[in-house]
């Protein structure tokens, strides 16, 4: 566990550097997706959804992993839409137990969705799919909520 904590702290340092770089926002989010997907074997799809201004809808942003048909997601639909509506992190260890779930790929077994807030308003979400069952710990949740606070500075 200690090793994982150290790894997460190193990722946070690298994410802060990407955030402070001179790249465009979407390039930064692409790099952060790639960093996480390439280095955490149970993060099999890593991407971002943005909140549509004035609409209760999310739209797909930068991501790493298989293409998804879910480019737009209304609030309340699927895990992403529910996280947007509830404004809280949703950690689903077994998606086969969920009725309100939008499948992207048969291979996906678990998902975590972490909202991104700017001045208490939802501006987007981090979405991670895993091909493993019950892969996410409270450490992942705490880590990704810190990533979300760093990324909020880009909005």
Residues at the interface with ligand SME (CB under 6 A): 45, 68, 70, 73, 78-81, 101-102, 104, 111, 127, 129
- As a whole number of Å, the CA-based R_g of the chain is 14
Closer CB to ligand SME, 17 or 56, in the complex: 56
**Quick check: 3 and 95 in contact, CB under 8 A?**
no
H/E stretch holding 124 reads strand 121-130
Task: Give the nearer residue to ligand SME in terms of CB position, either 78 or 151.
Answer: 78
DSSP 3-state of 137: coil
Kindly tell me which of 68 and 132 has the beta carbon lying closer to ligand SME: 68
* Smallest separation (angstroms) from ligand SME to the CB of 73: 6
Least distance from ligand SME to the Cβ atom of residue 126, Å: 11
Residue number closest to ligand SME, CB atom = 78
Yes or no: say if 109 and 86 are a contact pair by the CB < 8 Å rule. Answer: no
CB atoms within 10 A of CB 109: 19
Q: Which lies closer to ligand SME via its Cβ, residue 80 or residue 147?
A: 80
């Amino acid at each position: 566990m200690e090793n994982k904590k150290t790894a997460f702290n190193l990722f946070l340092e690298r994410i802060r550097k990407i955030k402070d770089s001179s790249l465009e926002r979407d390039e930064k989010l692409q790099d952060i997706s790639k960093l996480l997907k390439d280095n955490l074997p149970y993060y099999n799809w890593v991407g971002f959804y943005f909140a549509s201004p004035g609409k209760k809808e999310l739209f797909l942003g930068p991501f790493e992993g298989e293409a998804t048909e879910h480019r737009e997601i209304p609030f309340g639909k699927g895990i992403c839409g529910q996280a947007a509506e509830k404004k809280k992190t949703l950690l689903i260890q077994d998606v086969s137990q969920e009725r309100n779930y939008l499948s992207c790929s048969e291979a996906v077994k678990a998902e975590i969705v972490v909202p991104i807030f700017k001045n208490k308003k939802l501006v987007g979400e981090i979405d991670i799919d895993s091909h493993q069952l019950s892969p996410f710990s409270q450490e992942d949740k705490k880590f990704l909520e810190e990533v979300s606070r760093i990324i909020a500075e880009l909005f």
